[in-house]
Amino acid sequence: MRSHLLNDTTAEQYRRSVTEGIERVAAKLAATDRPFTGVTVDALAPTIDAIDLDKPLLDTAAVLDELEDVYLRDAIYFHHPRYLAHLNCPVVIPAVLGEAILSAVNSSLDTWDQSAGGTLIERKLIDWTTDRIGLGENADGVFTSGGTQSNLQALLLAREEAKTDSFAKLRIFASEVSHFSVKKSAKLLGLGQDAVVSIPVDHDKRMQTVALAHELERCRKDGLVPMAVVATAGTTDFGSIDPLPEIAELCEQFDTWMHVDAAYGCGLLASVKYRGRIDGIERADSVTVDYHKSFFQPVSSSAVLVRDASTLRHATYHAEYLNPKRMVTERIPNQVDKSLQTTRRFDALKLWVTLRVMGADGIGQLFDEVCDLAVEGWQLLAADPRFDVVVEPTLSTLVFRYIPAAVTDPAEIDRANLYARKALFASGDAVVAGTKVGGRHYLKFTLLNPETTAEDIAAVLDLIAGHAEQYLGESLDRAS
């Protein structure tokens, strides 16, 4: 069994084994002609259930053969141009190379004595990101597992910085289309049930700042404490960017922490063309960025950044066995002092290799391309009487709904759209997402693949219309 341990004596086996795996994946990627096979849970579950984990195959090639059946064949392939569903980007090769290196070396970023150079690389990338945001000289941050964790940590710091004698008095203000992790964080942070005040959005799905000002005023009058305003720079559904400069003004006026959830919109930090769309982000107290959404990085790769490094102390605990306090005076950099996690992957390496190979402009260009593609998609939808499209894209999502000419019952139209999404998924020809707008079912394209073309979008719209029509036809038959 020792031959399986990765060390000086097994380097050759490591090379062979990993290369074998890479060969399989490369062949798979080259041969994948659809984003999904359309397999159902019922069809796939017995294959996985049948595997006896106490009876190992003891042979890498056999395991890779088996993996074809249990995973690779039916995986959802985000790199396919007709995967248009969630905020999953195709990944860039330098980042995958970084991933392979970081898992083999297996540094843990909690302490200097478990990572050395890794710590400094992560710190440099944090500085690079805070510079791009414009958070100033005293900024800092740390890599996290994702936007949910970044938002949680930012709100933890905001809670600790709030001036109150009771968590029950604290209020967080976020738009009605902000990410659900804001509410989840409030719960995890022990705030009251009413802690998150939902602020309405305008026609373009941007937080209404007049309503925000009104709610902040009311909060104060009621003897409550505004703990934070969460501005979203790239909402999950619409890609809309809240008016950051106005929100910053209000945060200053009400002495409130400003958090910008740029999990999705952070791609603009690398864009030369569209960076201006997130102007005002530099005034935030904290920012969430998800490199695994718009920097073309594999999951996980995210960070939380703060204007004032000292606020990270709220996540600091010392343990003799890990990061004794004396290490601070000895100036030993232990990233665990800033993180909610202890053992932590060296995800920063992926971004490092990416920036060193491609440069930030390369990433920004790819993100610009998907933003431009979304405009083309919007033009197609707006010109097509079969569809209703909600807003012009700010980033790269399109929320729309099939509206059959002959049907006026909104509930029937809902059912036709739900059916179309399911049928498309089952066919494996394309994968799209869904959401609700004004209580009605809509479909969503999240465009993060520069390889997707306007022709792909047009073809998928035709597929959707075809499935919806089929449902409506069968529905008519059922009724008659």
Ligand X SMILES: Cc1ncc(COP(=O)(O)O)c(C=O)c1O
Binding site for ligand X (CB under 6 A): 87, 146-148, 151, 179, 181, 232, 234-236, 261, 263-264, 290, 302
Q: Residue 257 or 264: which CB sits closer to ligand X?
A: 264
Q: Taking the complex as a whole, how short is the minimal distance between the CB of residue 4 and ligand X, in angstroms?
A: 32
Closest to 263 (Cα-Cα) out of 240, 292, 229? 292
Phi, psi at 206, each rounded to 5°: -105, 145
Question: Can you tell me the distance from the alpha carbon of 193 to that of 204, in angstroms, rounded to the nearest whole number?
Answer: 28
DSSP assignments along 133-197, one per residue: HT--TT-EEEEESSHHHHHHHHHHHHHHHS--S-GGGEEEEEETTS-THHHHHHHHTT--TT-EE
Nearest approach in angstroms of CB 262 to ligand X is: 8
CB of 191 to ligand X, least distance (A): 18
Nearer to ligand X, 87 or 363 (CB): 87
Of 302 and 452, CB closest to ligand X: 302
In the bound state with ligand X, the residue whose beta carbon lies nearer, of 261 and 285, is: 261
- Three-class DSSP category at 431: strand
- Name, in order, each residue with C-beta under 8 angstroms of 110's C-beta and a sequence gap of 6 or more: 322, 323, 334, 335, 336, 339, 341, 342, 343, 344
Comparing CB distances to ligand X, the nearer of 219 and 231 is 231
Output 114 or 236, the one with its CB closest to ligand X.
236
Here the tokens at position 279 are 């102007």
CB of 192 to ligand X, least distance (A): 22
Closest approach of ligand X to the CB of residue 342, in Å: 19
Task: Say how many C-beta atoms besides its own lie within 10 A of residue 126's C-beta.
Answer: 23
Residue with tokens 């999904």: 36
Q: Which residue is nearest to ligand X (CB)?
A: 147
Tokens of 205: 């799905």
Least gap, CB of 31 to ligand X (angstroms):
29
Q: Between residues 292 and 467, which has the closer beta carbon with respect to ligand X?
A: 292
Task: Write down the least CB distance from residue 263 to ligand X, Å.
Answer: 3
